[in-house]
């Protein structure tokens, strides 16, 4: 979320006419706000206005997100130019809104891409929440942990599950446990990516980890949300029963 300020990035910022000094200053100020200036009052705001207001207070950070997307587009365009014409280029991406933090602008990359693969590796989602929450609790010791976890779940759209949780309750699911992610949370990410990608198809990337019943649920949601397109990663976690469930879900 706060990278990168290398000399290479500075050169790119100059090429695009972006104020690199302001980007560095505002990104540092936003980092300090998150690491010591968070309040329970801010965490109680679950609408998009809270995040928007935070970003607008630090416009240089928005420039940094724009720079990332421009640099990523340059990179993908160079890959497309280097590839033979009969080879497809299908970039992998984090799902929205995490995609924006990494510089993955589906619309900007669409002219160079045959398709996009969007990761629904949902056993990782609680760990993303856990890692972020642990650092923010450490930097803001007075925060209500349940408010913090709830805000992160809402702002990053990483759960969709009811109830409140403390940081220690957010953990990696065991192989026989369902992933703590709602159907709507998975579906909305694929729909958002497809809306941004326009005519370029989005393929959901499901994962073989987890129980049979939950695997069937997640593959079905991914397949339907992506317009009957899904890749399944990590065959080492699959079984004949899971292969059968894939066939049922995608029939």
26-77, pLDDT tens digit by residue?
A: 999 999 999 999 999 999 987 778 888 888 999 999 999 999 999 999 999 9
Q: Which residue is listed with tokens 């979320």?
A: 1
* Residue 140 C-alpha from the chain's centroid: 24
Q: Are 232 and 246 in contact (CB under 8 A)?
A: yes
- The predicted pLDDT at position 183 comes to 97
Give pLDDT tens digits for 139-190: 999 999 999 999 999 988 898 898 999 999 999 999 999 999 999 999 999 9
Which run of H or of E encompasses 241? helix 240-249
State the pLDDT at residue 61: 96
Q: Looking at residue 14, what is its pLDDT?
A: 96
Closest by CA to 60, choosing from 32, 12, 97, 20, is 20
How far is residue 41's CA from residue 27's CA, in Å, rounded to a whole number? 22
Can you spell out the DSSP letters for 95-134?
Answer: PTTHHHHHT--HHHHGGG-S-EEEE--TTTHHHHHHHHHH
Distance (Å, rounded) from C-alpha 203 to C-alpha 23? 33
Of 68, 93, 75, the residue nearest 5 (C-alpha): 68
Phi then psi for residue 28, to 5 deg, are -65, -40
% residues pLDDT > 70 (the chain): 100
């Amino acid at each position: 979320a706060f990278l990168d300020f290398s000399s290479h990035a500075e050169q790119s910022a100059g090429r695009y006419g972006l104020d690199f000094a302001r980007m560095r200053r505002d990104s540092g100020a936003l980092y300090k706000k998150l690491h010591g200036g968070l309040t329970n009052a801010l965490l109680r705001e679950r609408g998009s206005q809270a995040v928007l207001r935070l970003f607008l207070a630090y416009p240089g950070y928005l420039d940094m997100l724009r720079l990332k997307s421009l640099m990523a587009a340059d990179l993908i365009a160079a890959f497309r130019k280097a590839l033979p014409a009969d080879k497809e280029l299908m970039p992998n991406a984090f799902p929205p809104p995490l995609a924006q933090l990494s510089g993955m602008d589906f619309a900007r990359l669409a002219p160079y891409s045959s398709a996009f693969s969007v990761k629904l590796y949902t056993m990782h989602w609680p760990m993303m929440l856990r890692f972020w929450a642990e650092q923010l609790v450490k930097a803001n010791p007075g925060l209500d942990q349940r408010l913090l976890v709830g805000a992160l779940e809402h702002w990053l759209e990483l759960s969709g599950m009811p109830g409140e949780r403390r940081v220690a309750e957010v953990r990696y699911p065991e192989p026989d446990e369902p992933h703590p992610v709602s159907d709507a949370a998975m579906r909305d990410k694929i729909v958002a990516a497809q809306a941004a990608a326009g005519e370029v198809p989005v393929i959901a990337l499901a994962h073989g980890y987890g129980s049979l019943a939950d695997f069937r649920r997640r593959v079905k949601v991914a397949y339907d949300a992506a317009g009957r397109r899904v890749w399944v990663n990590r065959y080492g976690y699959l079984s004949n029963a899971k292969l059968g469930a894939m066939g049922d879900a995608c029939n």
